[in-house]
Amino acid sequence: MRDGIFEQARREISLLDFLAGYGFEFRKYSSSVRSDRCPACGPADQRGSNKLSLWWDGDCWKWHCFKCEESGDVITAAQYLEGFDKPLEAASGYWVSWTFPIRGSQG
């Protein structure tokens, strides 16, 4: 069941939409998308630093920070931004059903 929760969250919750909800701004950069902020270490020292890279992995969006070297997907981003200790909390936490409803979970 846990794998199903992770896969459903990764498939149905857009990392870009999730991060935009926290004020992240993006710009196109070659075959990826870049941002000045990182879910793990916060804003860059200077605007336009392109420290966070986001790309489509074929199954879901992934991210990597060139400053702190952390990487992940929407679940790890939620862990950092919401302060969840475990991935399962992030995948099935209140933000999934309240902010980004998973299909079939509401009525």
Angle at 66 between CA 14 and CA 84, to 5 degrees: 50
Report pTM: 0.77
Q: pLDDT tens digits, residue range 22-76?
A: 999 999 988 889 999 999 998 877 665 668 999 999 888 999 999 999 999 998 9
Q: Which residues pair with 56 in a beta bridge?
A: 61
Pairing, β 42-43 against β 71-72: unpaired
Q: What gap in Å lies between CA 86 and CA 17, rounded to an integer?
A: 22
